[in-house]
Amino acid sequence: MENKKLIVILIGPPGSGKGTQAELIAEKFGLFNFETSKIIEEKLKNADPDDEIITREKDKWMSGRLNTPEMVKKWVLDKIGDLHKQGLGIVLSGSPRTKEEAEAEMPVFEKLYGKESVKVFNILLSREESFYRNSNRRICEANRHPIPNFPEFKNLKVCPKDGSKLIVRKGLDDPESVKRRYNVYLEETEPVLGFLKQRGYEIMEINGEQGIAEVNNDILDKFNGNID
């Protein structure tokens, strides 16, 4: 597979394992793991603290709400353009997050990579499971590798990938924020799926209630049937 010709989009509620699966797919197919949330975090942390617009955006991000689509869209498209110039294929686990972002991003993806090279997966997860996973999950301090709230990771003290400390994201993974983020997903991100269907994309559904390996196997099965 030529990674420069492929874009993989993973959509799903908080805790559905998008980040974990994106890492696995990126490693297997040699794609760039594009984390919208990481781009947003970097922009907000490195911005001028006296900038009122950035301050408002940071407050939104910390409370579990989505950032302003126009701002995120610019950050995302700038990065996508840079990656295409480098000849890199991409797996996205947090974009597009709204219909407005999809309306802006999909034409660019199609122009740069070709519509036939854009593949969309919908990872399904119940509200109850989302709350359970997000209320107890951790990430590594150095590179934000996600550590799902699964029994096999319960006693981990450091990241198995880079050895850095495991932390809980304060604010974003507090119980109230977790509940709010699922509602935000239903209201603002789930409509992206309808938009993509109308645009002619096949949405490949994956049962996200399974373990990591089972979810990954299901995704790879879909790849085999839909990607040359």
Domain map (residue ranges) of the chain? 3-128+177-226
pTM for the model stands at 0.78
What is the pLDDT of the chain when averaged over all its residues? Answer: 85
pLDDT value at position 15?
Answer: 87
Residue 88, pLDDT score: 94
Give me the long-range contacts of 102-105 (CB less than 8 A, separation at least 24): 102/192, 102/195, 102/196, 103/195, 104/73, 104/77, 105/73, 105/76, 105/77, 105/80
| pLDDT digit string, tens, across residues 142-201 | 877 778 777 778 788 889 888 898 887 665 666 677 788 899 999 999 999 999 999 999
Look at residue 2 in the predicted model and tell me its pLDDT: 45
Predicted confidence band at 127 (pLDDT cuts at 50, 70, 90)? very high
Residue 110: pLDDT band by 50, 70, 90 thresholds?
very high
Residue that wins the pLDDT comparison between 133 and 220:
220
Pick the residue with more confidence: 162 or 122? 122
Question: In the CATH scheme, what is the homologous superfamily, with its name and number, of domain 3-128+177-226?
Answer: P-loop containing nucleotide triphosphate hydrolases (3.40.50.300)
Strands (E), 52-125: 90-92, 118-124
CA distance 148 to 146: 6
Q: Does the pLDDT at position 48 exceed 80?
A: no
Q: In this predicted structure, what is the pLDDT of residue 227?
A: 56
